[in-house]
Amino acid sequence: MINVSKLKKGLVIDHIAAGSGYRIFRQLKLDELNDVVILMRNVPSQKMGKKDVIKIENHINLDLEVLGLIDPHATINVIDNGNRTKKIRLALPKRVEGILKCKNPRCITQYEKVDAPVFYLANEENKTYRCSYCDSPTQFVEGDLG
Ligand SMILES: [Zn+2]
Per-residue pLDDT tens over the stretch 60-105:
999 998 899 999 999 999 999 999 999 999 999 999 998 888 989 9
Q: What is the pLDDT of residue 139?
A: 85
The CA 117 to ligand 1 mean position distance, Å, reads 8
Q: Which residues pair with 50 in a beta bridge?
A: 44
What's the whole-model pTM score? 0.83
For residue 69, the CA-to-ligand 1 centroid distance in Å is 19
Report the separation in Å between the CA atom of 33 and the middle of ligand 1, taken as the mean of its atom positions.
34
Distance from C-alpha of 4 to C-alpha of 6, rounded to nearest angstrom: 6
Ligand 1 center to 68 CA (angstroms): 22
